Amino acid sequence: MNRPLNLIATLLTGVAGLLPIAAAHGQQIWLAPQAHSADIGAMFAPGAPWGQAAARTRVFELYGNPYIQPTPQPQINEIVAGLKQRNIALAVETGAINVGAKPAPPCGGIGRVEGYGPVPLHKLIARKIKAAGGVISYVSMDEPLFFGHYYVGKPGGQPGCQSSIPELAKLVAESLSVYIQEFPDVKIGEIEPSDVVNGGRHQGEDPRWRNDLAEFASALRSQLGRNLAFLHIDVAWDHPDGPPQAREMFTFARGLMRQNLIGDVGIIYNGTSVDHSDNEWMQAARQHIAIMEGTLGVRPDQVVIQSWNLFPTNALPESSPDALTSLVNFYAGTRMRR
C-alpha cells in the first residue's frame, strides 16, 4: 500500500495477541458516509442490511454541502424517517465561517476554501431538515480554527483569511445562530486536524496551538452562550507525526473538558486519500484503530467512522468487509490482531 508501512509497523510493535476494541466505556459511535457513496440512499429503507451497525450507531452525520443542500426534499424526508425508525440522532457537518462566494471575497469563501459557509446555506439546510419533520441534534463545524485562522492558501489558489480568533468566533456564531434558533437543543462542536499542532506545516510543534484552541472555545462560548459540545480530531494518518500529535491534542482537549470549555473528545477513523480500493481503505482504517487505541492508548468519547475519500464506494451491506457499515461492527464488537 502507498502509505508509511514502517510507521504502522513501529507503532504496532509490542501489541501482541488480540486487542479488545469495544464500545464499553460510554462511547458514542457516529457514522458518516461520503456524499457520493453509491448506496447512501438505500441505507434508510426498511430492512436495509445494516441492522447490527444501526443498533450500535448513536449519531448519523450528513454533509451539509455537498449533500443536504443539493439533495431533493423527498430523499431528505426518507433519510429523516429512516433515522427516526432506527432511533439515531442526526448531525450535520458543514463549513460555518460566514463568508460567501458572491461577490468574490478577497480571502476564504464557500467553494474556495474549506470551512466556509454563509448564513443562507445554513438556513437552507435547517429548513430542509425541519420540512422533513427532523431535528438536527448536532452541528460539526468543518475545521474552523485551521482553515479560518491558520490556513495561508495554496500557490495560485484562494488564500485563507487568517482571521483573528475573536473575529473567527464572531463569523461562525453568525452561522451557528441559525441552528440554535431552529433547534434550541442542538449541540455545537468542531472538527480540527492534528495538523493544528504544527500550524499545518509539518515542521515541528507550533507553540500557539494550545492557547489558540482554548481561546477559540472560550470566545465561542461568549458568542453563543454555550460550550463546545465536542471536538473531533481528524488525524493525519499518512504523516509520521499525525497519530502522536492527535494523542497530544486529545490529552489537551481533555484538560479543556475539566475547564468546561469542551464536552466530549472524539477521533475520526478512516483510511486515506492515497488508498486505491475499497479493501485498501478499509484495511487502513482498521489499522488506524489499532494504532490509536491499541498502541497509543487513546479512548475517545466519540468514535467517528467517516469517509470523504473515493473509497469505500459502498456503505452496505454490513456483512461485506469492504462496506463502511462493517467498520462500525468491527470497532464495537471484534478483536483485532497485530
Radius of gyration of the chain (CA): 19
Placement of cell 490529552 in the chain: 251
- Amino acid in position 227: N
Q: What share of the chain is helix, strand, coil (3-state, %, to 5)?
A: 40, 15, 40
Task: Give residue 114's pLDDT.
Answer: 97
Helix H or strand E encompassing 54? helix 51-56
Q: 307 CB contacts (<8 Å, ≥6 apart)?
A: 32, 33, 34, 37, 270, 271, 281, 324
DSSP assignment letter at 248: H
For residue 302, what is its C-alpha cell?
466519540
Task: Give residue 133's pLDDT.
Answer: 98
Task: Give residue 11's pLDDT.
Answer: 44
Phi–psi pair at 265, nearest 5 degrees? -120, 130
For residue 169, what is its C-alpha cell?
468566533
Placement of cell 507550533 in the chain: 206
* pLDDT < 50 positions in the chain: 1-25, 335-338
For residue 148, what is its C-alpha cell?
479560518
Task: Give residue 203's pLDDT.
Answer: 60
Closest CA relative to residue 142, chosen from 174, 166, 181, 110: 110
Task: Give residue 13's pLDDT.
Answer: 38
Placement of cell 489499532 in the chain: 290
Task: Give residue 240's pLDDT.
Answer: 87
The CATH code of the domain at 21-337 is 3.20.20.60
Task: Give residue 201's pLDDT.
Answer: 62
